[in-house]
Structure 1
Amino acid sequence: MARELVDDELWEIVQPLLPVKRRRKTHPGRKPLDDRRVLTGILFVLQSGIPWEMLPQEMGCGSGMTCWRRLRAWQKAGVWKKLHGVLLDKLRAADKIDFSRAVADSSSVRAVHGGKKTGPNPTDRRKKGSKHHLLVDAQGIPVNVILTKANRHDVTQLVPLIDGVPPMRGKRGRPLKKPKCVQADRAYDSCAHRLALEQRGILHQIARRRTKHGSNLGKTRWVVERSIAWLHQFRRLRVRYERLPSIHEAFLRLGCAIICWRILKKSFC
């Protein structure tokens, strides 16, 4: 029997976050497709990477365009960001968040059809691409993610990554908002950004350019590279097919949420 993409426990978390759409009293039209089936179709596209129009009708998820429209509407309503935040709260309640340090890194992907937030990729013969900027905790749990052009320098997104971390609740007391220390490779070497971290009361361990290799940061910084690999196990995130950046950002945030869910359920593979 195939594994269910949206099990009952996950659906109980997602359902309250979805916007309620009221039907018209006059000429209500066809009854909208069940949200859980649509979410199943969205997750299937995220994991398999297939085009929307090739979504198997046997799954009962409706047409690919129906799933695409619902994905866009839910992204506009902030559903995926809220879902990510709720799962981070649950992870903190389960003592799985370690914010003694946070690690930042990025990865470039090719943008087949172009669109906004794409640019010449310096690592891919200047072909159009986008960049995923990721911040994780000490165990590799994704706490924030940003999409930019492929030619945006990594260091420009360091402060937005830190400031964009949602307040993680789940325990009594003040929400967990900022890490004690930030680690990053040489791409983040900047006196101005070190100062910005210090002003926020955050320590920093950032490798310096034009120095010999051997910072020993690799012993702890590898968790962010593993998390990027986890993200790219979702085939829809290996290559950007969407012209609208909001659609790719929806997939990116949903991918982070699913990783958090799998870690919470101890079923990541």
Structure 2
Amino acid sequence: MDRARWDWVVPAGLWEIARPLLPAARVRPQGGGVANIDDEAVFAAIIYVLVSGCAWRALPPCFGASKSTVHRRFVIWSRAGVWGRLHQRILQLLDEQALIDLSHAVLDSAHVRAKKGGELAGPSPVDRGKPGSTMHVLSDANGVPLRVGLSAANTHDSLGLKPMLSHFHMGHESHAAQSKPQRLHADKASDIPHPRKWLWGKHIGIRIARKGTESSERLGRRRWVIERTMSWLTGYRRLSPRYERQPATTWPFLGLAAALCCYKRLIKLTM
């Protein structure tokens, strides 16, 4: 197959990273059947759905695969953890090029409307109580998304802090202190005693504006990068608004979007 056929959808070189992460295709023990659609075409179709926000049934015929085939393989790959491993692999490549800056990390969240409700969707306090979700993002000092998460819109932002930082490391076995953020920047929503004590226990510095006593304006010098990262992620139309009812299909799209953001950063800084 002509690889250039999918260059308008898949960034150059991304397929070579993703291919080893895919589970092996199931083979009928009795033989026969219809030949599997090429994985690369399905991978391109999934990225097209993420970028364009189109419904599965609206996939253009140029991918040579039916919407049921693409959706079925998307579910299989999602259950196999492909998108999270792809994100981690690209972060590893960035780290090998010394392109991850953990001198400080930035945590923020953004509301997305959940058109069909479902799990991890709740009445949004910023959207007149309509169903929505909260997208949590942890980035490095340059806005590279290190972790992403999802919760119901009526969940307090501070509850996302611990899950986003728990067990986080970049794999520097010989330099453990360099494998986690040295300082965390967050907005006033995280100004709660328990998260502060937890961060102190992890030896992570804290830069969170205190409610009623400190302005968030000075933190903007560090936190603007996370606003840019949020705009990168919400630029993928399948994420905002949220159409999937089940987190099992929402999470994979969010993980794939984070992987794409990291890969574009890698291309930009190494070309």
TM range (shorter): over 0.9
Q: What is the identity, as a one-letter code, of the residue corresponding to 2:190?
A: Y
Alignment length (residue pairs): 264
Q: What is the identity, as a one-letter code, of the residue corresponding to 1:236?
A: R
The equivalent residue for 2:213 is 211
Contact 1:186 1:208 in 2 (8 A): yes
CA deviation digits over 1:14-67, x for unaligned, max 9? Answer: 01100112301315421111111001000001001111101000232x112221
Q: Write out aligned runs for 1:27-176 (5 A).
A: 27-60=31-64, 62-163=65-166, 165=168, 167-169=169-171, 173-174=174-175
1 CA distance for matches of 2:34 and 2:174? Answer: 48
Contact 1:89 1:168 in 2 (8 A): yes
2 CA distance for matches of 1:49 and 1:39? Answer: 15
The alignment's C-alpha RMSD in Å is 1.8
The equivalent residue for 1:242 is 244
CA spacing shift, 1:177–1:72, aligned 2, 3 Å: farther
CA spacing shift, 1:121–1:77, aligned 2, 3 Å: same
Contact 1:139 1:223 in 2 (8 A): yes
Q: Write out aligned runs for 1:217-236 (5 A).
A: 217-236=219-238
CA deviation digits over 1:119-161, x for unaligned, max 9? Answer: 0011000000111000000000000011110111110010110
Q: 1:215 offset after TM fit, Å?
A: 5.1
2 CA distance for matches of 1:41 and 1:118? Answer: 27
Contact 2:6 2:41 in 1 (8 A): no
1 CA distance for matches of 2:39 and 2:220? Answer: 43
Q: What is the identity, as a one-letter code, of the residue corresponding to 2:225?
A: V
Contact 1:186 1:206 in 2 (8 A): yes
Contact 2:108 2:137 in 1 (8 A): yes
Hey, which bits of structure 1, 4+ residues long, moved more than 4 A?
none
- From 243, 254, 258, the counterpart of 1:256: 258
Q: What is the identity, as a one-letter code, of the residue corresponding to 1:225?
A: E
Percent of pairs identical after alignment? Answer: 41
2 CA distance for matches of 1:65 and 1:210? Answer: 53
2 CA distance for matches of 1:114 and 1:2? Answer: 33
2 CA distance for matches of 1:264 and 1:172? Answer: 23
Where in structure 1 are there 5+ consecutive unaligned residues?
none
